[in-house]
């Protein structure tokens, strides 16, 4: 359970895992452990909105949970770099506390994205062997991916 602390002189709150820390204009006024967490970059992170808008969309046979301005890697898409693409296979749309589930898809919602680049994934080595038979086969595979940026959700 998250607790909100409003203390005099504080500017805003920062959530650090399960700990809520209060940020003061003067770092020397903070408590010891909260000061350590906020001054170390490993633990401090900004507050996210309670209910961000997101959709679950099907792209190239896979389902992705996406938000606006998010960059994701999907299986190779047709199109040039910089080209705009639209995905109409929206399965779920959540806008704040309002959640709409499609049956099976939402006909009124679309996701628009821009193709940033085409690239290949890391090499996967497939090695087959049957002991005492002299059978060894080695194959490699690199999956083709496309990096896209979600421009808007309508």
**Mean pLDDT of the 19-44 span:** 52
Q: Cα–Cα distance between 130 and 137 in angstroms, integer?
A: 10
Per-residue confidence (pLDDT) for residue 27, from 0 to 100: 47
Per-residue confidence (pLDDT) for residue 51, from 0 to 100: 75
What is the tens place of the pLDDT at every residue in 5-18?
444 444 554 444 45
What is the tens place of the pLDDT at every residue in 94-128?
988 889 999 999 999 999 999 999 999 999 999 99
Report the relative pairing of strands 19-23 and 12-16 from DSSP bridges: antiparallel
- The pTM score is 0.64
In the 3-class helix/strand/coil scheme, how is the chain assigned residue by residue? Answer: CCCCCCCCCCCEEEEECCEEEEECCCHHHCCHHHHHHHHCCCCCCCCCCCCCCEEEEEECCEEEEECCCCEEEEECCCCCCCCEEEECCEEEEEECCEEEECCCCCCCCCEEEEEEEEEECCCEEEEEEECCCCEEEEEEECCEEEEEEEEEEC
48 pLDDT above the threshold of 90: no
Burial class (CB in 10 A: 0-12, 13-18, 19+), 90: buried
Q: What percent of the chain has pLDDT over 70?
A: 68
The two structure tokens encoding residue 15:
């959530």
The two structure tokens encoding residue 17:
């895992």
Domain ranges (residues) in the chain: 1-48, 54-153
Q: Which of 24-28, 68-72, 139-143 has the lowest mean pLDDT?
A: 24-28
Q: Report cis status (omega within 30 of 0) of the bond before 104.
A: yes
Q: Where is pLDDT greater, at 127 or 31? A: 127
pLDDT category at 52 given cuts 50, 70, 90 is confident
């Amino acid at each position: 359970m998250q607790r909100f602390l409003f203390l005099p002189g504080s500017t805003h709150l920062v959530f650090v895992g399960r700990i809520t820390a209060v940020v003061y204009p003067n770092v020397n006024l903070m408590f010891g452990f909260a000061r350590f967490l906020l001054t170390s970059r490993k633990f401090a992170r900004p507050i996210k909105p309670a209910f961000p808008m997101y959709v679950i969309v099907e792209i190239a046979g896979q389902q992705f949970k996406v938000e606006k301005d998010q960059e994701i890697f999907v299986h190779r898409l047709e199109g040039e770099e910089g080209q705009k693409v639209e995905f109409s296979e929206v399965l779920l749309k959540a806008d704040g506390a309002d959640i709409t589930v499609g049956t099976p898809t939402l006909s009124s919602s679309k996701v628009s994205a821009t193709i940033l680049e085409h690239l290949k994934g890391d090499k996967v080595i497939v090695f087959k062997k049957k002991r005492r038979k002299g059978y060894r086969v080695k194959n490699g595979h690199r999956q083709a991916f496309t990096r896209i940026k979600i421009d808007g959700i309508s």
